[in-house]
Amino acid sequence: MIFSVSWFIAALAVTLATILQAITGFGTALVLVPLLVLVYDAHTAVIMTMFISICSSVALTGRVYKSILKPVLRNLFLGSIAGIPLGAFVFLHFDVMRLKIAIALVTMVFALALILGWIPRRTAGFWAEAATGACGGFLAASVGMPGPPVVLFLNHQDVPKEQFRATTTAYGILVYPIGLILLWFLQVLEKQIIWMVLSLLPFILLGQVLGCGIFPRVSQGLFQRGVPLLVMAIALYTLVTTVF
């Protein structure tokens, strides 16, 4: 219900999430899903996150379009096509909360490996990018969080922050609609959720304005060191809020 306590919590979460996305190109789903499940059931939280992420990504892409790594984006998207149907199946038939726990644990391990330098740099190419995209597509349709594999992969390649932000944002625009269309065909979308998302649009725009104002003040070095730390922190938060 609009203007209820849960709505105000969602509005705050949307503002924080879109600030983070405007700075880094990701984070909408990583922040939203753990917060929204505090006031909505898991499936509603995932669907709301997918809609909000599309709106936020569209608002940001107009600013960053020229910086998109188009060949990398193409390979990520081609891979996601394979992962989305499996993710939708999991969304319908498995416990989303348990899946979130598993994802949080895997993400924490990979982020820690990057932080400690245990993974060799520059592992790129079509197959690596397509596999990363497939993981992101699976997570997009199952728990509404395509970001972790794509974010960690691009950070692993030492991508400049402008291209990083643009490419992760564009990836979300391509992946989320396919997942939502598939869920629509499976008849799990409700009009009430759509109206709820529309009521939160002003907070998406507010977050974009604030985040884009902060972005130029973040250095490349801080950005690259901060991304795996941020992913690690959010994964830990997701784990704690899901378990407790």
Which pLDDT does position 63 carry in this prediction? 81
DSSP 25: S
DSSP 69: -
What are the angstrom distances between the C-alpha of 138 and each of 36, 77, 131? 20, 12, 11
Which pLDDT does position 131 carry in this prediction? 92
Of 231 and 236, which is predicted with more confidence? 236
Distance of alpha carbon 226 from alpha carbon 220, whole angstroms: 10
pTM of the model: 0.78
Distance of alpha carbon 161 from alpha carbon 218, whole angstroms: 9
Of 230 and 75, which is predicted with more confidence? 75
What are the angstrom distances between the C-alpha of 242 and each of 44, 101, 195? 15, 7, 26
**Mean pLDDT (the chain, rounded):** 83
Domain residue ranges in the chain: 5-243
